[in-house]
Structure 1
Amino acid sequence: MVSAVFHTPLEASASPDPRVATKTIAPNDHPTLTSAPKPLKNPAPAPRAPFDWRGLWLRVLPPVLGLGLLVLVWELVAMKNSNGFPTPADTLRQAVEVFSDPFYSKGPNDQGVGWNVLSSLKRVALGFGLAALVGIPAGFLIGRFTFLSRMFNPLISLLRPVSPLAWLPIGLLVFKGANPAAIWTIFICSIWPMVINTAVGVQRVPSDYMNVARVLNLSEWKIITRILFPAVLPYMLTGVRLAVGTAWLVIVAAEMLTGGVGIGFWVWDEWNNLNVKNIIIAIFVIGIVGLVLEFALIKLATAFTFEEVKS
C-alpha cells in the first residue's frame, strides 16, 4: 500500500520526515525557486462603455413626436375653426393664469382647479375604498366556492356592462344627495374589476397547493392567508389598477350631472361660461391625474408580484 504525504514548504522545513531523503538544492541549480516573485503590475482599467445615445434618442424622440403631432393637429383645427377655438398658445397662457392660484375660493361654486381636483379625488377614494372592502373578499369567496361562483356569475355578467351614468339616478333616489350618489356610482362601477380578477386568481391557484392544504388539514383561514392570498395577489392588484382607472373616469361624468365642487363640475361650469380654454386645461388635468394614479398602482403592483408578471 502506497501513501502520498503532501507538505507545504514551511511544514517541511519545520518538521522534516526522517523517512524521506532530502536533498539540498543549491541556489544556482534552480534560480526560479529562490528568486523573489516579480510584483504584478496594476491591471489596466476596463474601458468605459460609451453612452448609449441611440437608446436615449429612441426613448425620447417618439414621445416628443407624438406630442408635436397633437399640437400640430390642434393648431390646424384652431386655424380652420371660425368659432373661436383656442390655439395651443392661447391655452398655454390661460393655463399659466389658472395654475398661478389653483386654490382660490370665491364661494361654493367658484373655486380653483386645485380644490376641484382634491374634491374629485376624495370622492374617488371613498367609492373605491368601499368597492375594495366589498369586492376583494367577494372575489375570494366566489373563486373559492363553486356554488357561489355559479350563483353570482350570472349577476355579474348582467350588471357589469351597465353604463355608469345609468346607476346615478338610482343613487340620487336612494341617498337623496348628489355627493353620496356620485360615491355610489363610483362604488358600483369599480367593484367589478376587483371581483372578477380576484375570483379568477383564486380559481387559477395550482391544485397541488390545495392538495397539500388538505393533507395538512389546514383551516380555511390558513388556506386563505398562507396559500390563496400570496398566489392571488398579482391578480388582485391588477383588478385594483383597473378599478382605479374606472373610478376616475366615472367621477368626471357623475360630477357633470350632480354639480358641486369637482373637476367634472368645473368642466361643465366652464362650458356654460363658454370658456373653451379652461375645458381643454381640465382635459389635460384629468389625463395627468389619471396617469399619475395608474403609474402609482403599477409601481405598487410590480413591488408585490412575481418577475414573470411584472411586464
Structure 2
Amino acid sequence: MILQSSVQAVSTAASVGWRKFLRPAIFRDTVMLPSLGFATLILLWWIIATFFSTLLPTPLQALADNWEYISNPFFRRGVGDLGIGWLLLASLRRVFTGFLLGSLVAIPIGFWIGTSKHAMLAINPIVQILRPVSPVAWLPIALAVFNQANPSAIYVIFITSLWSTVINTAVGVSSVPKDYINVAQVLEMPRWRQLYKVILPASLPYIFTGLRISLGIAWLVIVAVEMLTGGIGIGFFIWDEWNRLSLSSIFLAILVIGLTGLIMDWLLIKLQQAVTHRPVQQT
C-alpha cells in the first residue's frame, strides 16, 4: 500500500507539472518565443550567407561540415588533433582555476573594504585604476613572469576576475543594515561571529552577483588569451580554423562557447539558490 501510494503521488506530481508547463502562457514564454528568436537568427544567418557573402557557410552547410565534431566530440588522433570536447575541457580547466583563485582573494578583500573605511580609502583607488585595464594587456606581463602559456592564461583570468567580485562584495557588506550590527553588539557577539552569522548571510546576494559577472568575464577573456598563446583550447581552435578559412568550425565554436557560458551561469544561479534559499532572477 505504501509503495502504491508513493507511486500515485509521484505520478500526480508529474501530471500537475506537465499540465502547468503546457499552460498557454508558460508554453509561449518558455518554448514558442525562444524558438522564434533562434529561428529568426538562423534565418538571418542564411540570408547573409546566401546573398551577401561568398565565404560564410549556410546553416545546413555548417552542420554538415561540423558533423564529425558534433557526433564525436572527444576523438583523439594525435598531438594537437583533438575533438572539440577536449578543447572545451582544457579551456574550462584554465577558467575555473583562475576564477576560483580570484574569488578566494576577491571576497576577503571585499569584506575588508566593506567593513573598514581606512581599507576602502587605501584599496579603492587601486581597484578603480586597475579595473578598466584590458585583460589582454596583462598577458605580456604574465608571459614575462611565468614564461609559459598555461600559467600565464590562468593569471590573466585571475587578475581580470577580481574586480567585479571585490566591488560587489564591498557593496554588499557595506549595505548590511546597521540594526543587524547593533543587535549583534547588544548580544556581545564576537567580531568574527558577526562576520559569519550576520554580515555574510546578508551580503551573499551581492557576492554571488559579483561572482556571476566575474565568471562571465573570465569565460570571455580565455578565448582571446588562447588565441594569442596557442596550445590546446577553444580559443586557439577558433584561430587555427580561421587560418584554415574553415568558418563552419568557427560557428560551431561560437555555439559551444555560448551554450557553455549559459550553463555555467545557470549552475552558479542554482548554487546561489541553494546557499541563500532565495529565488534568483535570471537576466
TM-score by length of 2: 0.88
| C-alpha contact (below 8 Å) 1:213/1:223 kept by paired residues | yes
Structure 2 counterparts to residues 1-311 of structure 1, below 5 A: 52-305=23-276, 307=278, 310-311=280-281
Deviation at 1:301, TM superposition (A): 1.6
Q: Distance in 1 between matches of 2:121 and 2:203?
A: 20
AA aligned opposite 1:216: L
2:11 alignment partner in structure 1: none
Query: Greater share of helix residues, 1 or 2?
Result: 2
AA aligned opposite 1:62: L
Cα separation, partners in 2 of 1:174 and 1:224, compared to 1, 3 Å: same
Deviation at 1:58, TM superposition (A): 4.1
| C-alpha contact (below 8 Å) 2:73/2:84 kept by paired residues | yes
SS at the partner of 1:199?
helix
1:14 alignment partner in structure 2: none
AA aligned opposite 2:230: G
Q: Distance in 1 between matches of 2:46 and 2:28?
A: 26
Which has the higher mean CA deviation after the structures are superposed, 48-57 or 248-257? 48-57
Deviation at 1:134, TM superposition (A): 0.5
| C-alpha contact (below 8 Å) 1:234/1:304 kept by paired residues | no
SS at the partner of 1:106?
strand
Residue correspondences, number = 263
Gaps of 5+ in 2: 1-15
Deviations along 1:43-73, whole A, 9 cap, x unmatched?
xxxxx99962344234322111111111111
Q: Distance in 1 between matches of 2:29 and 2:261?
A: 25
Deviations along 1:181-209, whole A, 9 cap, x unmatched?
10010001111111111111110011112
Aligned-residue Cα RMSD (Å) equals 1.8
Gaps of 5+ in 1: 1-47
| C-alpha contact (below 8 Å) 2:227/2:239 kept by paired residues | yes
Identity %: 49
| C-alpha contact (below 8 Å) 1:182/1:255 kept by paired residues | yes
Deviations along 1:128-159, whole A, 9 cap, x unmatched?
11001101111111111110011111111111
